[in-house]
Amino acid sequence: MTRIFISGAGAFGTALALVFHKAGKDVTLISRNSTELVKNRTTDYLPGVSLPKSLKISNSTTSLSGGDVLILAIPMQNLTKYLENLHQKPKVAIACCKGIDLNTKAGPTEVIRNTIGGSSAILTGPSFASDIAMGLPTGLTIATENKQIGTELQKTLSTDSIRLYLSSDPIGAELGGALKNVIAIACGLCIGAGFGDSARSALLTRGFAEIVKLATTLGAKQETLYGLSGIGDLVLTCTSPQSRNFSYGFSIGANLGTKVSSTVEGIATARAVLKLSIKHNIDMPITKGVVDIIDGSKSVSVVLSNLLERPLTKE
């Protein structure tokens, strides 16, 4: 049986560990707070969920070998440093983070290639950790350029509740997952400021147009963006308060104050995406507006009003 190591005991990593363990897979959850997890078998990331005593928990990847699968459920901006300190290479490293490295403008699979090399993949799609932990039906995309590895991962990681769809377009899968967080912040701002659901629908739709323009310019396949890792993930994260990026935007729009977390990956992504749009001469007014609001240079009302006052054009 293929051994699965999950680095990162946040909500998503822990949820995956739970569902894989329930499915009878050989899984180990890697946590910086392993002693506390082993003792209490509970986590603040998933309130009301208990971790079975039979679930293996460790504080390191020292037992990782070249035949194992390593799932990286850690924030995008921490990925490079984590991999640089990894002592043993796995058979394949799978990123779950949704973002773009702020310094290098690289996506997760490129970061893996540039640090540890070897086979890489991205696991992404419309999903909330709480749903996965409860065993609710969830469809995800597993994307890799290596068809044989992809087929193996699809079989190894699928369970009764998680259905994996295979893609050969990791660039499209990871860009869809990253860019949707920026639009989710915009939708949160819109609802928080009281502009209503109709305005949110317009932002979501026009935001998707921005995603398609940039992603295809960077090498993504358009059909990937119309799948689970693109429009599917976008709709979920733009319409639910469970989305950390939506909630972050909502708090700003409603003047509730914000507590910035590394798991609100749309903040760094928005800044990276804006730089990429300027580099490639792509007009992305929603992304620009989100950055202006995050950086405090413009108010929510000014940005949203400016978007409405843009010159009339064809869709």
Q: Are residues 161 and 180 in the same domain?
A: no
Asked if residue 313 is part of any domain, the answer here is: no
Give the Cα separation of 223 and 230 in Å (integer): 9
In tens digits, the chain (315 residues) has pLDDT values of 799 999 999 999 999 999 999 999 999 999 998 999 999 999 999 999 999 999 999 999 989 999 999 999 999 999 999 999 998 899 999 999 988 888 888 999 999 999 999 999 999 999 999 999 999 999 999 999 999 999 999 999 999 999 999 999 999 999 999 999 999 999 999 999 999 999 999 999 999 999 999 999 999 999 999 999 999 999 999 999 999 999 999 999 999 877 666 578 899 999 999 999 999 999 999 999 999 999 998 988 888 778 877 766 766
pTM of the predicted model over 0.85: yes
Residue after which a domain boundary falls, among 123, 138, 168 = 168
What is the model's pLDDT at position 312?
Answer: 62
Buried b (16+ CB within 10 A) or exposed e, 107-129: bbbbbbeebbeebbbbbbbbbbb
Domain of 189 in residue numbering reads as 171-308
Q: Are residues 255 and 300 in the same domain?
A: yes
Q: Are residues 36 and 94 in the same domain?
A: yes
Q: Are residues 206 and 159 in the same domain?
A: no
Residue after which a domain boundary falls, among 111, 137, 168 = 168
103 burial (CB, 10 Å; 0-12 / 13-18 / 19+) is exposed
| Cβ(134)–Cβ(127) below 8 Å | no
180 catalytic, yes or no? Answer: yes
Looking up residue 96, the CATH number of its domain turns out to be 3.40.50.720
The number of folded domains in the chain is 2
Asked if residue 314 is part of any domain, the answer here is: no
> Strand 3-7 vs strand 69-72: parallel, antiparallel, or unpaired?
parallel
Asked if residue 211 is part of any domain, the answer here is: yes
Looking up residue 277, the CATH number of its domain turns out to be 1.10.1040.10
Q: Are residues 207 and 300 in the same domain?
A: yes
Residue after which a domain boundary falls, among 168, 203, 229 = 168
Q: Are residues 183 and 84 in the same domain?
A: no
Pick the catalytic residue from 180, 213, 298, 314. Answer: 180
